[in-house]
Amino acid sequence: MSALSAPEIQILPATAADYEEILAISEGIYTGLDYLPLRYHAWLKDPQRRMFVAKSEGKVVAFDSFLLVDGGITAVLQGLRVGLTMRGRGVAGIIQKFTLDTLHSDHPDVIRIRLTRMKDPPPAILDKYQPLHSKAVIAKYLSADELEKELMVLESRISSERQHFSPPVFLDYSEVHGLFSGPLKEEDLLPGRFLIQAWLPIITCKANLDLMQHWRVRWLCSYPCDAVHKKADGSMSKEDNISVSGTGPSFVAFKGFLSLGTPMFPMPSGDGKHRLDIDLFGTDLPCAKIHVLLQLKEAVKALPSGGSIICIIYAEESLRDGLTGLLDGFPPFLWCREQVVLELVIKDRTST
Ligand SMILES: CC(C)(COP(=O)(O)OP(=O)(O)OC[C@H]1O[C@@H](n2cnc3c(N)ncnc32)[C@H](O)[C@@H]1OP(=O)(O)O)[C@@H](O)C(=O)NCCC(=O)NCCS
């Protein structure tokens, strides 16, 4: 460790007055895709969230926060950052220790901590946290000038695959609340039975669904159907009156598909780029493609004129090549290739 030691760092609750300094230490992180500048003030008002700054000689040098989810039994760590000139000196370790100490002392109901990281988290994290699931990340740039044309290209690329299932439908939140008590099964679509909504790993309990309603997350659903016929080229067609049991290997039940579209927000660069996160759940490629298109088209309705989109798609690894093919020719946005959800169980549920 360097000359900088713990006593030189003071950890305090973050306040509105820290905003400018937090912006300053955040410059350039996540290749400009940082969400904190836009969310900071709303986060401060959120009773489920605690936010901290580390100060050295009175200046903000680091930020960290946690959000209580899953009805208060899980804390998700979010937003950790250390100013460029202070990195590599143990500051992240100091502020994280304070965050976790606060969590333990003030929130004894919390039984687990989750966080989401880009590919290959540092060994120090893997020593403490268990990887739960990872997803492919595909990021593309859709420029304002090309947007209309690009949507038409997408339409034409998937048009041949559209007839296989009944069209996906956007759900209102009364439908979202009942979603997994019908034919759609959580265990079929959600590995580990949790959602990852724009990097936030959460279970599908009512409290979390209410949060997503508040954030105006769009749910798009393709309902399961009895049986589909897998054609030689790998695509599927729906067959009526076919029982899955007793049929050959070319018949498979279609288990449904789900996607979440997080409302776009302008990127800190201020040049009209808007970030759109689309989380996909399920493994059916034709469905994944239609969901991407429909989520994009829905998002575009709210795009200010002249705005462009950085579209970030999160999908099972098996869909990476197919989705990359769908977006072939669209300029890539250079970011991470993978998101990894990690968990640390801090308390046995039975002991609470
Ligand atoms: C990642 C980052 C916060 C590390 O800051 P740092 O002050 O250089 O890190 P330190 O010198 O304290 O590194 C050591 C400690 O930080 C932890 N750490 C390092 N990278 C981390 C990461 N990505 N997530 C969580 N903890 C991390 C290490 O586990 C270690 O903890 P320990 O002391 O308890 O063993 C800093 O490089 C940064 O701000 N990067 C840009 C934003 C970012 O990538 N944030 C993390 C994802 S949200």
Query: What is the residue with the minimal CA distance to atom 28 of ligand 1?
Result: 124
Within-domain flag for 124: no
Query: What is the residue with the minimal CA distance to atom 38 of ligand 1?
Result: 81
End-to-end CA distance of the chain: 38
Q: Return the SS3 of 263.
A: strand
211 C-alpha to center of ligand 1: Å? 28
Within-domain flag for 122: no
Residues 104 and 141 reside in one and the same domain:
no
Please choose from 65, 67, 96, 339 the residue to mutate so as to test ligand 1's pocket, defined by most ligand atoms within 8 A of CB: 96
pLDDT of residue 3: 47
Tell me the pLDDT band of 247, cut-offs 50, 70 and 90.
Answer: very low
- Considering the chain, what percentage of its residues have pLDDT values greater than 90? 78
pLDDT of residue 120: 86
Residues 201 and 333 reside in one and the same domain:
yes
Residues 160 and 292 reside in one and the same domain:
yes
Within-domain flag for 119: no
250 C-alpha to center of ligand 1: Å? 48
Residues 246 and 198 reside in one and the same domain:
yes
Residue-wise pLDDT for 218-244, tens only, equals 999 999 886 566 655 555 565 544 444
The DSSP bridge pattern shows strands 112-118 and 74-82 to be: parallel
Distances 88 to 8, 64, 132, 216, 305 between C-alpha atoms, Å = 15, 16, 27, 38, 42
Residues 287 and 143 reside in one and the same domain:
yes
pLDDT of residue 5: 53
Mean pLDDT of the chain: 90
93 C-alpha to center of ligand 1: Å? 7
Within-domain flag for 127: no
28 C-alpha to center of ligand 1: Å? 16
Q: Cα dihedral angle (320, 159, 170, 311), rounded to 10 degrees? A: 40
Average pLDDT of the segment spanning 151-157: 94
Report CA Rg, the chain.
22
Six token digits for residue 297: 């088209």
Q: Smallest Cα–Cα separation from 118: which of 99, 107, 105, 131?
A: 131
Q: Indicate the helix (H) or strand (E) that contains 127.
A: helix 123-128
Within-domain flag for 220: yes
CATH of the domain at 50: 3.40.630.30
Q: How far apart, in whole angstroms, are the C-alpha atoms of residue 285 and residue 211?
A: 29
For ligand 1, whether the C-beta of 91 sits within 6 Å is: yes
Average pLDDT of the segment spanning 115-139: 94
Q: Smallest Cα–Cα separation from 263: which of 217, 314, 315, 199?
A: 217
Within-domain flag for 79: yes
Residues 97 and 164 reside in one and the same domain:
no
pLDDT of residue 32: 85
For ligand 1, whether the C-beta of 22 sits within 6 Å is: no
Residues 183 and 229 reside in one and the same domain:
yes
Q: How far apart, in whole angstroms, are the C-alpha atoms of residue 326 and residue 242?
A: 31
Q: Which residues pair with 35 in a beta bridge?
A: none
| Domain total in the chain | 2
| Listed residues 94, 110, 126: the one ending a domain | 110
317 C-alpha to center of ligand 1: Å? 26
Residues 100 and 143 reside in one and the same domain:
no
Q: Which structural domain range is residue 44 located in? A: 6-110
Within-domain flag for 116: no
> Highest-confidence range of 158-162, 257-261, 334-338, by mean pLDDT?
257-261
Within-domain flag for 117: no
Please choose from 66, 81, 91, 338 the residue to mutate so as to test ligand 1's pocket, defined by most ligand atoms within 8 A of CB: 81
pLDDT of residue 349: 67
Q: Return the SS3 of 14.
A: coil
| Listed residues 75, 110, 145: the one ending a domain | 110
DSSP symbol at 109: T
Please choose from 11, 39, 87 the residue to mutate so as to test ligand 1's pocket, defined by most ligand atoms within 8 A of CB: 87
Q: Indicate the helix (H) or strand (E) that contains 287.
A: helix 285-300
